[in-house]
């Protein structure tokens, strides 16, 4: 009983610490776009109109299911719901890593605590945490996969085979980028396999590993076809131009220490081959991502390598200097990762780094300004799927006119626009206009739409008011 109480206290304390890092970034204006989208869709599903007609896919399914469930259970809080899930999953991840080192790896309690602290402080872990449950779930799936193929090599048992399959299933259902991890794993599953299993049936081995992923993907496609919906979305994101030097800087953060931890077992093939397969899986996914652009942020693309590092240090050979070397290696990883983030952050990671350094970001204040202006307004037409940040900022879905409601659908299908207010993006600095209201009524761009006049504008938003009842 005392042990259970101690575990609960440790979980709550660690959860609050991780939540504090997210709160710090949010206080400085950083909330990842994935967090905003998840939170907005959860609010819409729980508190929005029953007639809401989503056109964007609710994919990947696992983070959406968790977020919607928690939003419904809590009724909504001032803390973004994805933050609560991300902090909880992050805490669970660190506790699992501690248990793996302490109880399975035979590492002392002090060294295990210190090792987990160094892993938690690693910028790649904190960045994944800030991006919401998608990336933390991907890290958990990668860890289960890496552990599973080692145990499968050692025993060849069915439960270990299922660990590998479940790990791949988690990454594929948690993150679009997880699809590339599954593709990256395919050739290296042969490298990691127990020779006797390949001799018996190499085809059966691969089918057993990938059957859950294929079955889940086909199920989603089937449901999408039946309901004629976009359940499975376009997986690619807008590519970010990254130089070769930029890729080298990103890879410098985690790959060196992963290689050192893996090659320490080079003469122990039962550990070395599965570990090198896990390493190559993540590296292959990163390489594929440079062509397919499924994950726009390279730091998040390589972040699952941290889970491979956690598995590799657990299998460090047992000798007198084992624990000091583990701590030294993880400390070096922390320094290299910090250097990588300071020198070459790309995409949203650059904004996250600035926020963590205490620099105030501008975009959050721009949204607060328009919400303040609209505080007493009602009947606001807005494309919430292209502007999800407005949903949690306003909070009251009853003020908004959204897809599925008569006024919105009538306007976008060619009828007369009758909303009291129209809220759209300020597209002056946008190369491509994504807001569907602006695309339907381009006259708003020049403030020439009949019966509407512009009453608010900043660098992010424009508001138009109907001049005639």
Per residue in 270-311, pLDDT tens? 999 999 999 999 999 999 888 888 888 999 999 999 999 999
Q: Which has the closest alpha carbon to 421: 388, 385, 376, 360?
A: 376
- pTM of the full predicted structure? 0.92
- What the block records as the tokens of 354 is 């600035």
Are the beta carbons of 40 and 392 closer than 8 angstroms? yes
pLDDT in tens, 168-215: 889 988 988 888 898 888 888 888 877 777 777 777 777 777 777 777
**How far apart are the C-alpha atoms of 368 and 366, rounded to whole Å?**
5
Q: Which residue shows structure tokens 């708003």?
A: 444
Counting other chains too, the contacts that 109-114 makes at CB distance below 8 Å and 24 or more residues apart are 111/323, 111/326, 111/327, 114/327
Locus of tokens 């799927």: 385
10 Å Cβ neighbour count for 412? 17
pLDDT per residue rounded down to tens, the chain (469 residues):
677 787 788 899 999 999 999 999 999 999 999 999 999 989 988 887 766 766 666 667 899 999 999 999 988 888 999 999 999 999 999 999 999 999 999 999 999 999 999 999 999 999 999 999 999 999 999 999 999 999 988 887 778 888 888 898 899 889 888 888 988 888 888 888 777 777 777 777 777 777 777 776 676 666 666 655 555 455 555 667 788 899 999 999 999 999 999 999 999 999 999 999 999 999 999 998 888 888 889 999 999 999 999 999 999 999 889 999 999 999 999 999 999 999 877 889 999 999 999 998 877 788 999 999 999 999 999 999 889 999 999 988 889 999 888 899 999 888 889 999 999 999 876 667 788 999 999 999 889 999 999 999 998 999 999 997 6
Could you tell me the residue ranges of all domains in the chain?
Answer: 2-356, 363-466
Q: Which three-class secondary structure state does DSSP give residue 99? A: helix
């Amino acid at each position: 009983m005392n042990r259970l109480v101690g575990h609960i206290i440790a979980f709550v304390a660690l959860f609050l610490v991780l939540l504090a890092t997210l709160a710090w970034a949010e206080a400085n204006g950083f909330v990842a776009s994935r967090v905003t989208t998840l939170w907005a869709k959860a609010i819409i599903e729980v508190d929005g109109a029953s007639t809401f007609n989503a056109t964007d896919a609710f994919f990947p399914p696992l983070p959406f299911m968790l977020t919607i469930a928690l939003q419904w259970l809590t009724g909504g809080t001032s803390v973004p719901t994805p933050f609560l899930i991300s902090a909880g999953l992050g805490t669970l991840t660190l506790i699992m890593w501690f248990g793996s080192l302490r109880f399975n790896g035979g590492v002392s309690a002090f060294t295990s605590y210190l090792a987990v602290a160094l892993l938690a402080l690693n910028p790649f872990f904190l960045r994944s945490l800030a991006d919401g449950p998608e990336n933390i779930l991907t890290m958990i799936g990668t860890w289960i996969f890496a552990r599973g193929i080692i145990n499968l090599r050692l025993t060849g048992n069915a439960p270990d085979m299922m660990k590998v399959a479940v790990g791949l299933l988690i990454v594929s259902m948690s993150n679009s980028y997880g699809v590339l991890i599954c593709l990256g794993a395919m050739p290296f599953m042969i490298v990691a396999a127990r020779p006797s299993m390949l001799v018996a049936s190499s085809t059966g081995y691969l089918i057993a590993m990938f059957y859950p992923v294929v079955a889940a993907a086909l199920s989603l496609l089937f449901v999408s076809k039946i309901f004629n919906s976009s359940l499975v979305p376009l997986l690619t994101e807008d590519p970010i131009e990254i130089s070769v030097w930029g890729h080298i800087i990103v890879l410098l953060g985690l790959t060196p220490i992963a290689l050192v931890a893996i090659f320490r077992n080079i003469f122990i093939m039962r550990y070395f081959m599965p570990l090198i397969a896990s390493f190559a899986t993540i590296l292959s996914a990163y390489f594929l991502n440079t062509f397919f652009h499924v994950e726009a942020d390279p730091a998040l693309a390589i972040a699952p390598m941290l889970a491979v590092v956690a598995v590799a240090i657990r299998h460090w050979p047992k000798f007198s200097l084992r624990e000091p070397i583990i701590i030294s290696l993880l400390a070096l990883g922390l320094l290299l990762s910090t250097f990588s983030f300071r020198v070459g952050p790309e995409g949203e990671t650059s904004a996250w780094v600035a926020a963590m350094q205490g620099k105030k970001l501008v975009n959050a204040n721009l949204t607060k300004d328009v919400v303040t202006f609209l505080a007493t307004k009602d009947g606001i037409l807005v494309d919430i799927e292209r502007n999800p940040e407005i949903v949690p900022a306003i909070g009251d879905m009853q003020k908004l006119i959204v897809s599925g409601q008569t006024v919105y659908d009538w306007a976008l299908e060619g009828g007369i626009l009758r909303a009291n207010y129209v809220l759209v993006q300020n597209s002056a600095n946008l190369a491509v206009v994504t807001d569907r209201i602006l695309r339907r009524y381009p006259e708003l761009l020049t403030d020439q739409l009949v019966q509407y006049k512009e009453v608010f504008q900043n660098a992010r938003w424009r508001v138009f008011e109907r001049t005639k009842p």
